[in-house]
Amino acid sequence: MELTKVSGRYSRQELFEPIGREGQEKLGRSTVVILGCGALGTVAADRLVRAGVGTVRIVDRDFVELDNLQRQSLFNEEHALKRLPKAVAAESVLKSVNSEVSIQADICDVAPANIEDVLRGCDAVVDATDNLETRFLLNDACLKLGIPWVHGAAVGSCGQVMTIFPGKTACYRCLVPESPSEPLQGCDVLGVLNMVTGVIADIQSAEAVKLLTGKLNPDSTVVFIDVWENEFERFAIDRVADCPACVRGEYTFLNSKAVSWSTSLCGRNAVQISPALEATLDMKGLAASLSRLGHAEDNGYLLVFNIDGYEITIFPTGRAIIKGTTDKTIARSLYSRYIGY
């Protein structure tokens, strides 16, 4: 390839021999789901949109807050002031970056009832979630649908990446067989550096591009990085011979029939409640009712209700984030009392 003959938006990327013009065209025909739009997801979304991935679907359940700005690179103070849903804020910024890419904002939380619909039709998934329950669920869904995905996680100054290709590599449950008996310390206890979330998301994005261009060599390894100690290591992960997920095909988390999906949110002192069946709430009527009990404000995307030291953020589908507790029992009680769905 002659360097002088390459020009345009993706010229520097096409000059990179492993991608070239053919690889760039493959990217343009591809669809990626970014599950979560926080510290990892904002960076990954930015990289993949700029790289020219044809369709980038951003799925996130949350809204922008001031303490997100330290590490969530697509957002600004105005987004936090308006409490915009992260997927909406990211979409608005990224459309100004690359109008050639179809950017889809999906304000929802994945659960057993909807994750297959959220992922169906995509070519790869970038894991930018913040809890084990969702990763176990994502692992089940991707194995069932045959979709490769790139796991990523970061806390403190450390992070890890693992690319999971159904049928070719170990899966997430080969790496983490079961939920730990005690909650893992997260960024609410250990903090997190934006440098490590940026590095992890960049590696995830590179892995996604390899997947989409057919250049990935599936190898069942985990990359571990500590940016504070300047450590970079790779570990081989054996595929567990009787893994319930990738060997036996027992999709325990996907087949869960729980009435609701409760998740403690990393660094938020909050619990999210997602009903098994989505509703269509009368947000104006609910705001009027709750205003008689405490302060309630509706910004068109969500309703924020404050009472007794708790902040309850309610979405039109019936999903809610209860801030002020990490106790799922308390969160469910508040949900039942004030939303009643």
For residues 68 and 75, the answer to whether their CB atoms sit within 8 Å is yes
Token representation of residue 52: 């020219």
Q: How far is CA 237 from CA 7, 206, 241, 245, in A?
A: 41, 20, 12, 15
What is the Cα Rg of the chain in Å? Answer: 20
φ, ψ dihedrals at 177, nearest 5°? -60, -40
Active site residue 187: yes
**Angle at alpha carbon of residue 340, lines to 280 and 114, rounded to 5°:** 45
Which run of H or E residues covers position 11?
Answer: helix 11-14
51 vs 12: CA distance, rounded Å: 10
Q: Which residues pair with 263 in a beta bridge?
A: 272
> Which of 171, 174, 187, 243 is the catalytic position?
187
Q: Which residues contact 338 (CB under 8 A, 6 or more apart)?
A: 290, 293, 305, 307, 312
The set of catalytic residues is 187
